[in-house]
Amino acid sequence: MTQGHPPAPGWTGGPPPAPGQPWPAYPPPPPRSRRKLWIGLAAGALALAVGAGALVGVGLGLRDDEEGAAPKAAAAANGVTVTDAELTALLDRHGRALAARDLDGWLAAFDPARRDLVAAQTRLFRNLGKLPLSVARYETVERQGRATDAFGQGVTFQLDVSFVHQLDGFDLAPVTEWYRWTVVRPAKDAPIRVTAVTGAPAAADGSSKTVYYPGPWDRWPEIHVERTPHTLVIADSDRAALAKRYAPAAEAAAVHDLAVWRSGGLPGPAPRGVVIALAEGRDEMGSLYRIGTRKATEAGFSMPMVAAERRDGRFTIGGSRVVVDTETPYFARTGGANDAGMVFRHEVAHSLVTPRTNLTEVDAFDTLDEWVVEGFAEYVAFHSRPLGDSERTAAARRLLRSWNGKLPDDGDWDNPDLVSFHYWLGHTAMNHLAETYGEPKLFRFVDAVYAGTPTDRAARDVLGVSLDEFQAGWADDVRAQARWTGSETTQ
């Protein structure tokens, strides 16, 4: 799903946008929908896990059976081998050292001769110590390469490792980040050493080359963590002042959205808080919790995190990670209703509804209608405010002259010139739904869609009308609000 926030149609730092252009002369170009970006990452993680035979966190096997009985027997006599039990013990010790704040124990896994590696892992250890980790352990995903050499030449292979972790007060369940360790045993009875660490690769056809890697704790040499009652704001330590500056806005956004969410009355757990990273520029934003296969263009996104363990045999969402680009105009302006707080509110709204997703039914979010996903986030972000407060409104009303009166389908979101207009249409659709059928039904409708009910059936089940009937009433409402005359649109 998109789970993101595109640039607004205009901002005070430049000339007004031309009709049909959701962004003035401000590079890079306006974004596509983000739905496929996140789908690629989630689907990649799920495909890797399922293809290997089990979900990460359970242990996927090390393929020792492929090596055969004869090489094992020879290796036992004079060869070199690394057993499953040794790798499990290595990961167990690593996790226990982190929990005990034992730096020496943590570094024991790494080759002391690799000074750059030891320095990097020391920084990572200290960064992780700043997080409220209620769960932190390391488990095997899969091994790549042979762990046995019958001729005493030593072995080198890659071990994909799951960092299973839960941020206390923020994640509903433990989530995961995948690393790839290069493991070496140079000779028989020599200690096992890790000589390199990077992100484990994701599925080849995904939108990220890695699985939830790198976290801010991996990317930045030193993180600064600013905690409020409902947010965990993470920034590079060089930008600690910025984290302090925006933490109150992030907290206000979380409080606002949580109040709106609770008023919806949906049963079941919801996150009590949100984790937010402050990126400096689009390149950095595109390389947090992912290594993107295309350039990031959004102003922010909410990354759903697949839980590390199945619940009742099903994949679920264990939490989310919000990232915002503080170089966008939203963060350059001050004092307006459409500034940083609006981006935070939009992304927090995504984070609150995402755990409702039935990953089995919606095929890793690929069947969720974009207008529902983004319209709901805009609705929550501007809750109790007039539509005119959205700076998308002026440009959107101009576009109504050529509008076909229909909800944008998912293919429409690939048109960069109309992305902001489609966000606005989703917003107005949610406004119309709440005003016509009542806000409780809005929440029930959105919940049904996230649970995997096709949108047209959700309309019949929850609203009591067909989707076509809903669309017709909404289109009339939009045109009436815009004072449509057939020749001009007033504002």
In this prediction, residue 38 carries a pLDDT of 42
- More confident position, 48 or 336: 336
In this prediction, residue 260 carries a pLDDT of 97
In this prediction, residue 56 carries a pLDDT of 32
* Residues above pLDDT 70, as percent of the chain: 80
**Is 125 a residue whose pLDDT tops 50?**
yes
**CATH numeric code, 48-199:** 3.10.450.50
SS3 at position 347 = helix
In this prediction, residue 44 carries a pLDDT of 44
Structure tokens, 178? 């995948």
- More confident position, 243 or 333: 243
Query: Residue 59, class by beta-carbon neighbours within 10 Å (0-12 exposed, 13-18 middle, 19+ buried)?
Result: middle
In this prediction, residue 52 carries a pLDDT of 33
Q: Is the torsion defined by CA of 390, 396, 398, 401 positive or negative? A: negative
Element (H, E) at 39: helix 35-52
CB atoms within 10 A of CB 213: 26
Q: What is the C-alpha separation between 302 and 294, in angstroms, rounded? A: 17
Q: What is the C-alpha separation between 37 and 342, in angstroms, rounded? A: 22
Q: Say which range, 16-25, 324-333, 335-344, has the weakest mean pLDDT.
A: 16-25
Q: What is the C-alpha separation between 223 and 235, in angstroms, rounded? A: 6
What does the pLDDT average to over 425-430? 97
Note the pLDDT tens digit of each residue in 348-402.
Answer: 999 999 999 988 876 644 568 999 999 999 999 999 999 999 989 999 999 998 9
Structure tokens, 90? 């290595």
Note the pLDDT tens digit of each residue in 137-157.
Answer: 999 999 999 999 888 889 999
Q: Give, as one character, the DSSP assignment of residue 459.
A: I
Note the pLDDT tens digit of each residue in 251-297.
Answer: 999 999 999 999 999 998 889 999 999 999 999 999 999 998 888 88
Q: What is the C-alpha separation between 107 and 126, in angstroms, rounded? A: 12
For the chain, give me the number of helices (H) and strands (E)?
Answer: 17, 12
**Is 51 a residue whose pLDDT tops 80?**
no
What does the pLDDT average to over 231-254? 97
Structure tokens, 239? 């930008």
Q: pLDDT band for 298, please (50, 70, 90 cuts).
A: confident
Q: What is the C-alpha separation between 24 and 160, in angstroms, rounded? A: 44
Phi and psi at 390, nearest 5°, equal -80, 125
Residue whose structure tokens are 């045999």: 313
What does the pLDDT average to over 448-465? 96
In this prediction, residue 486 carries a pLDDT of 38
Q: Give, as one character, the DSSP assignment of residue 264.
A: T
In this prediction, residue 109 carries a pLDDT of 97
Q: What is the C-alpha separation between 57 and 203, in angstroms, rounded? A: 18
CB atoms within 10 A of CB 432: 21
Q: How far is CA 152 from the centre of its chain?
A: 45
Distant-in-sequence, close-in-space partners of 63: CB < 8 Å, separation ≥ 6: 142, 143
**Is 161 a residue whose pLDDT tops 50?**
yes
In this prediction, residue 29 carries a pLDDT of 26
In this prediction, residue 354 carries a pLDDT of 93
* Residues above pLDDT 90, as percent of the chain: 66
pTM to 2 decimal places: 0.85
What does the pLDDT average to over 422-440? 97
**Is 115 a residue whose pLDDT tops 90?**
yes
| Most confident segment among 60-64, 161-165, 412-416, 451-455 | 161-165
In this prediction, residue 169 carries a pLDDT of 94
Parse the chain into domains and list their residue ranges.
Answer: 1-30+369-491, 48-199
SS3 at position 114 = coil
In this prediction, residue 451 carries a pLDDT of 92
CB atoms within 10 A of CB 207: 21
Mean pLDDT over the full length of the chain: 83
Q: What is the C-alpha separation between 410 and 33, in angstroms, rounded? A: 9
